[in-house]
Amino acid sequence: MSFDIWRFAVADNGIGIEPQYHEKIFEIFQRLDPGSNHEGTGIGLTMCRRIVHRFGGTIWVNSEPGTGTTFFFTLKDGSLEA
């Protein structure tokens, strides 16, 4: 059996994320601006990381303030070779 890796990217053109927060955003209940009017509980990216890891993948972010953010993740191809 052989596994290939699938790589996905999801990008936006939002405000971006400072480099020092690239790991923090994947921790549960961590919001970069808790006093803001943006909705959310701070568990979404934690759940994404858990799901991706459960399926043998990795997740990471590439972002610069003012230019937007791209989230990348990989998953193993679970199909069987004939």
Contact 20, 32 (CB under 8 A): no
Per-residue confidence band for 10, with pLDDT thresholds at 50, 70 and 90? very high
Per-residue pLDDT tens over the stretch 22-51: 888 888 766 655 556 666 667 888 999 999
What local confidence, expressed as pLDDT, does residue 37 receive?
61
38 found inside a domain? yes
Q: Give the count of domains, the chain.
A: 1
CA separation for the pair 67, 4 (Å, rounded) = 32
82 found inside a domain? no
What local confidence, expressed as pLDDT, does residue 32 receive?
59
1 found inside a domain? no
Give the residue with greater pLDDT, 17 vs 60: 60
Give a three-class secondary structure readout of the chain: CCCCEEEEEEEECCCCCCHHHCCHHHCCCCCCCCCCCCCCCCCHHHHHHHHHHHCCCCEEEEEECCCEEEEEEEEECCCCCC
Per-residue confidence band for 2, with pLDDT thresholds at 50, 70 and 90? low
Q: Is the pLDDT of residue 18 over 50?
A: yes
40 found inside a domain? yes
Question: In the chain, pLDDT over 90 holds for what percent of residues?
Answer: 40
User: pTM value?
Assistant: 0.77
CATH number of the domain that 30 lies in? 3.30.565.10
